[in-house]
């Protein structure tokens, strides 16, 4: 038998989700826990909604938020109640607290999330609907979800969110999409209004709102395909870009896996790091670029393509690689022949990680041939030709060949 205390003996923190209906939407147990709690953390709105229930000390979230988390952790072992909006573990405070407090120390009583409430009002099966939180996040995060016929529920930050979303939809060729604004769901002020994105002109929108989008794409809408190798036209660039076909093969060689981090050394337009991140929301990338002009361009591309969290380091490798988080995969597209760059990348790579380097110059190719002879891996010659006019007819115009070295670092 184990001598470990049971969950009930260890639990000291209770997280309670509430809706706009305040105490009316709570069960007896949640009411009792709130009423008997010696201290209650939450937002000013939460305290106002439950004003008649709370008898203990009321603590409003501090700025920065981590200060309140420290305060909660310092009370470990004594009863604490935290109030949250809806489901605390869906873009909520529960996820933040769980990074510092073990699950067996917490008890959670969730309420329906804004996404669940919106889906029920719209009559949309939640499992078939894309959900995205734009609360405190760049609105461009919705870009990868914009496909004709898709349904999206987006949580906004404030009363300006619906208009900002409508402008984005219109600017990128989705102006005929129907945008439904659902305000103060579950409370007395609940309102549901709908209009085409290009015609949205609602006034006095409640700051607590969520938007449902029924996507309709115009002929030239900016739709990001579910594949690597986006058309080069999606990117702002000065010619320094891994071309579409080579990019698709390069991402295949990098083989993204859940939660991994990529270094894109000599990022140029940022296309490899951007498409790495588009593979899955869990993926992260750092683009290393020495040109300030190109670095600014990378940032614009990342935002426009829906991955604004792409990290950017402006500097020259290998010195710019110091102190960066250790990567699971590395791509070297530019500047790889400079002294120390390849060696530094190999040294930094995690055991079992993948390194992919592309060469178009003889100098870089010679370096890759040497590393291949010394370390093994795979060496591939990539050649692409495109049909182009030849007088009044057509012929094949070859692009510069690319030598690609892929190497996996030993686990030992």
Q: How confident is the model at residue 4 (pLDDT cuts 50, 70, 90)?
A: very low
Q: How confident is the model at residue 285 (pLDDT cuts 50, 70, 90)?
A: very high
Q: How high is the pLDDT of residue 1?
A: 39
Q: How high is the pLDDT of residue 145?
A: 97
Question: What's the pLDDT tens digit per position in 326-340?
Answer: 999 999 987 888 999
Question: What's the pLDDT tens digit per position in 323-382?
Answer: 999 999 999 987 888 999 999 999 999 999 999 999 999 999 999 999 999 999 999 999
Interval 371-399 mean pLDDT: 95
Whole-angstrom distance, CA of residue 110 vs CA of residue 30: 10
Q: How confident is the model at residue 6 (pLDDT cuts 50, 70, 90)?
A: very low
Whole-angstrom distance, CA of residue 55 vs CA of residue 46: 14
Interval 231-259 mean pLDDT: 95
Interval 291-295 mean pLDDT: 96
Which residues touch 103 (CB under 8 Å, ≥6 apart)? none
Please, what is the average pLDDT of the chain?
Answer: 94
Lowest mean pLDDT among 91-95, 249-253, 299-303, 368-372: 91-95
Q: What is the sign, positive or negative, of the torsion defined by CA atoms of 266, 271, 274, 275? A: negative
Q: What angle do CA 139, 60, 46 make, to 5 degrees?
A: 70
Interval 214-236 mean pLDDT: 95
Q: How confident is the model at residue 233 (pLDDT cuts 50, 70, 90)?
A: very high
The DSSP bridge partners found for residue 213 are 152, 179
Q: In whole angstroms, how far apart are CA 221 and each of 68, 236, 307, 330?
A: 44, 17, 18, 33
Is residue 384 within 8 Å of 330, Cβ to Cβ?
Answer: no
Interval 189-199 mean pLDDT: 97
Q: Is the pLDDT of residue 2 over 80?
A: no
List of E strands, 94-160: 106-109, 130-133, 151-155
DSSP 401: P
Q: Are strands 209-214 and 178-183 parallel, antiparallel or unpaired?
A: antiparallel
Tokens 């609602």 sit at which residue? 202
Whole-angstrom distance, CA of residue 333 vs CA of residue 331: 6
The DSSP bridge partners found for residue 63 are none
Whole-angstrom distance, CA of residue 277 vs CA of residue 16: 34
Q: Is the pLDDT of residue 130 over 70?
A: yes
Tokens 């899955």 sit at which residue? 280
Interval 197-216 mean pLDDT: 96
Helix axes 271-278, 292-304, angle to 10 degrees: 20
The DSSP bridge partners found for residue 283 are none
Q: How high is the pLDDT of residue 337?
A: 86
Q: How high is the pLDDT of residue 9?
A: 67
Q: How confident is the model at residue 8 (pLDDT cuts 50, 70, 90)?
A: low
Q: Is the pLDDT of residue 205 over 90?
A: yes
Which residues touch 86 (CB under 8 Å, ≥6 apart)? 17, 18, 19, 92, 110, 111, 112, 113, 114, 116, 117
Q: Which of 406, 309, 313, 296 is nearest to 353 (CA)?
A: 406
Q: How high is the pLDDT of residue 407?
A: 98
Question: What's the pLDDT tens digit per position in 57-84?
Answer: 999 999 999 999 999 999 999 999 999 9
Q: What is the sign, positive or negative, of the torsion defined by CA atoms of 270, 276, 280, 284? A: negative
Is residue 109 within 8 Å of 88, Cβ to Cβ?
Answer: no
Is residue 184 within 8 Å of 208, Cβ to Cβ?
Answer: yes
Q: How high is the pLDDT of residue 5?
A: 40
């Amino acid at each position: 038998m184990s001598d470990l205390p049971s969950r009930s003996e260890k639990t000291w923190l209770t997280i309670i989700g509430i809706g706009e209906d305040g105490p009316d939407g709570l069960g007896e147990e949640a009411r009792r826990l709130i009423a008997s709690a010696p201290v209650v953390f939450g937002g000013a709105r939460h305290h106002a909604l439950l004003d008649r229930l709370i008898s203990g000390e009321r603590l409003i979230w501090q700025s920065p938020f981590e200060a309140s988390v420290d305060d909660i952790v310092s009370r470990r072992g004594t009863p604490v109640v935290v109030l949250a909006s809806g489901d605390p573990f869906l873009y909520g405070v529960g996820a933040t607290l769980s990074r510092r407090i073990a699950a067996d120390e917490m008890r959670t009583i969730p309420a329906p999330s804004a996404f669940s409430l919106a889906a029920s009002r719209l009559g949309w099966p939640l499992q078939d609907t894309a959900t995205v939180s734009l609360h405190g996040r760049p609105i461009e995060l919705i870009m990868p979800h914009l496909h004709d016929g898709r349904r999206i529920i987006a949580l906004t930050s404030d009363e300006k969110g619906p208009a900002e979303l409508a402008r984005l939809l219109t600017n990128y060729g989705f102006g005929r999409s129907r945008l439904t604004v659902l305000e103060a769901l579950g409370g007395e002020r609940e309102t549901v209004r709908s209009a085409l994105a290009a015609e949205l002109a609602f006034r006095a929108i409640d700051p607590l709102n969520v938007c449902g989008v029924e996507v309709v794409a115009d002929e030239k809408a900016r739709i990001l395909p579910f594949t690597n190798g986006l058309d080069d036209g999606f990117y702002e660039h000065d010619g320094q870009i891994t071309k579409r076909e080579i990019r698709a093969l390069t991402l295949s060689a990098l083989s993204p896996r859940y939660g991994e981090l990529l270094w894109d050394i000599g990022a140029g337009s940022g296309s490899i790091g951007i498409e790495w991140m588009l593979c899955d929301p869990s993926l992260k990338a750092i683009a290393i670029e020495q040109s300030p002009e190109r670095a600014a361009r990378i940032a614009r591309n990342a935002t426009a393509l829906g991955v604004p969290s792409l990290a950017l380091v402006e500097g020259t490798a290998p010195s710019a690689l110091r102190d960066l988080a250790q990567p699971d995969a590395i791509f070297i597209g530019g500047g790889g022949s400079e002294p120390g760059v390849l060696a530094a990348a190999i040294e930094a790579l995690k055991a079992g990680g993948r390194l992919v380097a592309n060469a178009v110059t003889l100098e870089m190719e010679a370096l890759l041939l040497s590393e291949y002879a010394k370390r093994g891996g795979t060496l591939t010659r990539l050649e692409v030709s495109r049909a182009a006019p030849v007088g009044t007819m057509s012929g094949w115009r070859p692009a510069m060949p690319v030598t690609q070295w892929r190497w996996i670092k030993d686990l030992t």
